Structure 1
């Protein structure tokens, strides 16, 4: 089409950078498959901005996007996150935030440090810092706007398995979840 003929085309997304939990990723992948050039002009990225301002370790991190909403897929994913040593960036809707924070507190430990970043790169930007249990209580009344959750990674294993994580992972696998 037009790009192959030399036309310059711009992809502007309302959901952020195409490579960071954004549907524009599919467009970029297709352009690359066609062997056409891609030029990136960085712009605001709520997940990356939240990570940078979180105060949590940023040398190694994981973009988790939106977690599965329910069922064995959610349980399995939470079990995986419980042992993830990298700082995790999670996207969540305001009305599901309290439940997600409660689930994370149960699986990762109530004392795990986290930051709720709200309305990143916008006028009413806000950071609420605490542990998962404290943030779950704070989120009981859902905040307004776009939410990014940054969660501290697990400490390196000391050889002792976490029975909660193994139990949930076993249940999820028994229910047919894949790894």
Structure 2
């Protein structure tokens, strides 16, 4: 079935009295409320209901544009319970909008469960493109944009985080992560151990009053965030693998010092050997010398 289109007048802002039935996945601003598309406003004014990750956040947006659509919560904690009823409403002919707290739904939020269920039920899913923090950060960073990977949030524990990061170690692509101010030093320390001292950019408060980008190598950014801890929501970008990555003894030592307390000497040595390309025997001998 071809995608449905609104037939409202783009000059007057008039919208159809009734949208075609289906799920409308609506991108919302990531900070600046004016970063909302005219089409998104049309849909939000016309749907039967709005599903929001955090109704308190979405109400601010709806109030700013005098939108009176019924709103209810859809998030990780109630998704399993709510999806069947939402699918039934869609099958009964309702038009429902799905929004996240900020940005494009399904990017690090639970919307994919609902979209997958809608697709499986043969319900029309209409994406309304708009703001996206990973893309805004990539554009601002100056890092290569011909290939990139959005990895979202990494695990909170160092060993698990490094293991997750290792999966992207040799990609010739800019890596994009979400992070918080409280965890950024630990995240960057693990990134240095896994990726070496690559070019990196820390962006924060995108589209807001205190928007900022810090450029440098990973080690330089560790110094920067240690001296001046960043506030707000962070999108962290790390440059692609060069193809000739080398780990010197200092970098291998630093990685061992980070991982031995959590993994033990033997397992940490194996992990660092895999990450660095060093022979396992040489890494283990270096680990012994740290005792």
TM-score range, shorter chain: 0.7 to 0.9
- Compute the TM-score of the two structures, normalised by the length of structure 2: 0.53
Query: 1:60: which partner in 2?
Result: 147
SS of the residue 2:171 aligns to: coil
- Compute the TM-score of the two structures, normalised by the length of structure 1: 0.83
Matched, 1:33 2:120: yes
Which of 103, 128, 133 is residue 190 of structure 2 equivalent to?
103
1:96-123 deviations in whole A, cap 9, x for unaligned? Answer: 001111221222112x111111011223
Q: Distance in 2 between matches of 1:48 and 1:162?
A: 33
Query: 1:130: which partner in 2?
Result: 216
Q: Distance in 2 between matches of 1:15 and 1:24?
A: 13
Which of 201, 206, 217 is residue 120 of structure 1 equivalent to?
206
In structure 2, relative to structure 1, the CA distance for the partners of 1:39 and 1:150 (3 Å cut) is: same
Is contact 1:67–1:90 with CA below 8 Å preserved after alignment?
yes
Matched, 1:168 2:255: no
For this pair of structures, how many residues does the alignment match? 170
Q: Distance in 1 between matches of 2:184 and 2:221?
A: 9
Q: Which has the higher helix share?
A: 2
Q: Distance in 2 between matches of 1:83 and 1:72?
A: 19
What is the deviation of 1:69?
1.4
Which of 132, 137, 162 is residue 50 of structure 1 equivalent to?
137
Measured on the aligned residues, the alpha-carbon RMSD in Å equals 2.6
Segments of 5+ residues of structure 1 without an aligned counterpart are 173-179
Larger Rg: 2
Matched, 1:16 2:119: no
Q: Distance in 2 between matches of 1:39 and 1:55?
A: 32
In structure 2, relative to structure 1, the CA distance for the partners of 1:130 and 1:29 (3 Å cut) is: same
Segments of 5+ residues of structure 2 without an aligned counterpart are 1-87, 256-268, 276-291
What is the deviation of 1:26?
2.1
